[in-house]
Amino acid sequence: MIFHQLQNEESGCLSYLIGCGQAGEAVVVDPGRDRVDDYLRLARKKGLKITRIIETHTHADHISGNRDLAALTTAPILLHHSSKAIFDHLTVRDGDEVRIGTVSLKVMHTPGHTPDSLCLLVTDRGRGSDPWFILTGDTLFIGDVGRPDLGGEQAAADLYASLHTALLPLPDSVEVYPAHGAGSLCGRAMSSKSASTIGFERRFNPALAAWSQDEFVQLVMTGLPAKPPSFETIVGKNQGTIPLASAKPRPYTAREAWEAVQHGACVVDLRDPSTYGEGHVPAAINVWIESPQFADRVSWFAPTGAPLILVAQGPSDLDRALGGLTRVGVDQVVGFIQRGMIEWRSEELPVETVPQITVYDLAEWLEERREVVVVDVREPFEWREGHIDGALHLPMLEAAGRLDEIPRERPKAVLCAGGLRSSTVISALKRRGIGSWYNVTGGMTAWLKAGHPVGR
């Protein structure tokens, strides 16, 4: 058997190529749209032909590459029969077996995270009759389980049943390979490890510690991060109910870009928060290309349906951005400012700024009792670990929906863990007409390192 795990570190997505060298065939599980060339290259290198494409569920955090890969290989796409996909595919049911030479992939229907979730129990018949590993999709993660909030408490109850009837009875030695790892919002507290075993998860996974279904439902439904606003759109594209497209950006002059902005386009500034803060296009969204979950954050904060124009430090950043945005279905990138902010300033077009302050500045302001509001945009679990007393807690994905809680006239110092999310939130709220912002560089990490007090 030939087995490869392919990881997208930015998004936490994991996909797999499983093949049989004797048969010269392979199956790809949970392909990403931005990794299609990698699967083809890997299969070619191993002397394999991709003959099946399987999805463990309808993904909500990224666009699947199943149709692109199928078009290039003629391999059929296999989905659980409860899938609502409307494109051409074959269906499988609980107990079905997919054979690739001596390799057997047994389908196990495990509803919960989604109704069409399935796991694949893999056995190498050339090695023996005992199962080797299981691809758990978003049913079981390393250190967590799939978030069930798309279906509410009933989905959580279904997830409990799936775990206890299908997965946990498996032998301790069966290896676990999920569809997502750390960095994904499909769970809450996933480990940075990309593999485990049933025995290890049974013993150490906090989500499996619940003694009853009711306790499990309460556990997994409490403290869930806000659902990203792009989930429904991505699901629609993965089901085929919303058409896929490919961005075809062109170079814009600064004046062309400014005219487009005045007619509804949105500039996405890929530069770091400090450079963005020194001067940027009015109403631009700032998501640094090096940010964790870069593409996801753009999809969450870019205005729905608006044409997007990118501004970057260099051509390589543009290429990376387009690849990442394609993965999450952000297809409305129409262009990029060819000479960036250099031309923008030379044309004397409007420029806005966001002052950057240190944690020492902020501590001094608070000691002097200045009229500054501290806004903490970290997730609830980060907030509980320690925060500045008196701070307003607005988790990143909730900020735009809680505008009434933000004092508009007072200066606002925004912080996250390090200064990236805070800059993105500031840029999104500036688009909504709220001013007087300061970005706290270094965030809570720098605050704690400096020894300033925290509340818990």
Asked whether residue 229 carries a pLDDT value surpassing 60, the answer given is yes
Asked whether residue 190 carries a pLDDT value surpassing 90, the answer given is no
Pair (140, 198) in one structural domain:
yes
Give 135's strand partners: 120, 177
Pair (25, 80) in one structural domain:
yes
At which of 202, 231, 260 does a domain end? 231
CA dist 136 and 146 (Å) reads 10
CA dist 26 and 43 (Å) reads 7
> Quick one: average pLDDT of 84-103?
96
Distance, first Cα to last Cα, the chain = 51
Q: From residue 104, how far is each of 1, 51, 68, 131, 431 by CA, in Å?
A: 10, 14, 25, 9, 53
Q: Please choose, from the candidates 216, 176, 219, 180, the residue with its C-alpha nearest in 3D space to the C-alpha of residue 200.
A: 176
Q: From residue 159, how far is each of 114, 147, 380, 422 by CA, in Å?
A: 9, 9, 24, 34
Pair (275, 333) in one structural domain:
yes
At which of 328, 346, 364 does a domain end? 346
Which pLDDT band holds residue 8 (cuts at 50, 70, 90)?
Answer: confident
* The two structure tokens encoding residue 361: 């500045």
Which pLDDT band holds residue 231 (cuts at 50, 70, 90)?
Answer: confident
Pair (291, 156) in one structural domain:
no
At which of 184, 209, 231 does a domain end? 231
Pair (52, 29) in one structural domain:
yes
Asked whether residue 235 carries a pLDDT value surpassing 90, the answer given is yes
Q: Which of 112-126, 240-254, 272-286 has the lowest mean pLDDT?
A: 240-254
Pair (336, 403) in one structural domain:
no
For residue 438, the domain's CATH number is 3.40.250.10
Q: From residue 305, how far is each of 240, 288, 294, 302 by CA, in Å?
A: 18, 21, 19, 9
Q: How many domains would you assign to the chain?
A: 3
Summarised one tens digit per residue, pLDDT across range 301-317 is 999 889 999 999 888 89
Pair (409, 333) in one structural domain:
no
Axis-axis angle for helices 315-327, 294-301 (nearest 10): 70
Asked whether residue 228 carries a pLDDT value surpassing 80, the answer given is no
Mean confidence (pLDDT) of the chain: 92
Summarised one tens digit per residue, pLDDT across range 339-372 is 999 999 999 999 999 999 999 999 999 999 899 9
Q: Which of 27-41, 132-146, 189-203 has the lowest mean pLDDT?
A: 189-203
130 φ, ψ (degrees, to nearest 5): -80, 140
Higher pLDDT: 295 or 225? It is: 295
Percent of the chain clearing pLDDT 70 (strictly above): 97
Pair (325, 412) in one structural domain:
no
Pair (52, 188) in one structural domain:
yes
Q: Is 27 in contact with 12 (CB distance < 8 Å)?
A: no
The domain of 294 spans 245-346
Pair (219, 98) in one structural domain:
yes
Three-class secondary structure of residue 158 per DSSP: helix
Number of residues written out for the chain: 456
Q: From residue 326, how far is each of 295, 312, 321, 430 by CA, in Å?
A: 8, 17, 8, 26
pLDDT at 210: 85
Pair (26, 105) in one structural domain:
yes
Alpha helices, DSSP H only, in 241-350?
254-262, 273-278, 294-301, 315-327, 340-346
Q: Do the domain assignments include residue 236? A: no
